[in-house]
Amino acid sequence: PIDKRAICAKLLVAGKADPRLQDMTGETPIDACADEEIRLAMGGAPLHLHKAVQSRNPKDLGDCLAQLRAGRLEVTLDSMNQAGDTALNLAADTIWREGVDMLLAAGAAVGLPNYGGRTPLHSAALRGHHRIVQALLDQGASTNCKDVDPDHDPRFKSKSFEENPQQHRTPLHYAAGLGNIACMRLLLEQRSDVNDQDSQGQTPLHLCLQLREDNTQLDWGNGAQICGLEKRPEWNGRFASIIGPKVSKGEEHRFPVLLEGDTGDGVLLKSTNLQAIPDAV
Instruction: Convert the pLDDT of each residue in 170-224 to its tens digit.
Output: 999 998 888 777 888 899 889 898 888 988 888 888 887 776 544 334 333 333 3
41 pLDDT higher than 80: no
What pLDDT was estimated at residue 58? 95
How confident is the model over 47-67, as a mean pLDDT? Answer: 91
164 pLDDT higher than 60: no
What pLDDT was estimated at residue 145? 93
228 pLDDT higher than 70: no
d(CA 78, CA 135): 18
Write the DSSP string, 126-194: HHT-HHHHHHHHHTT--SS-----TT--TT---HHHHH--S----HHHHHHHHT-HHHHHHHHHTT--T
What pLDDT was estimated at residue 180? 79
* Residues 100-149 pLDDT 10s: 999 999 999 999 998 888 999 999 999 888 999 999 999 999 999 999 87
Helix, coil or strand: residue 105: helix
Say if pTM beats, i.e. exceeds, 0.85.
no
* Residues 68-105 pLDDT 10s: 999 888 778 998 887 789 999 999 999 999 999 999 99
| CA nearest neighbour of 207 among 143, 126, 277, 268 | 126
Q: Could you tell me the residue ranges of all domains in the chain?
A: 1-44, 45-153+166-210, 222-276
Q: What CATH number does the domain located at 222-276 have?
A: 2.30.30
CB 72 within 8 Å of CB 51: no
d(CA 159, CA 106): 45
d(CA 4, CA 82): 20
What pLDDT was estimated at residue 28? 56
Work out the percent of the chain whose per-residue pLDDT is above 90. 28
For residue 154, what pLDDT band results from cuts at 50, 70 and 90? low
Q: What CATH number does the domain located at 45-153+166-210 have?
A: 1.25.40.20
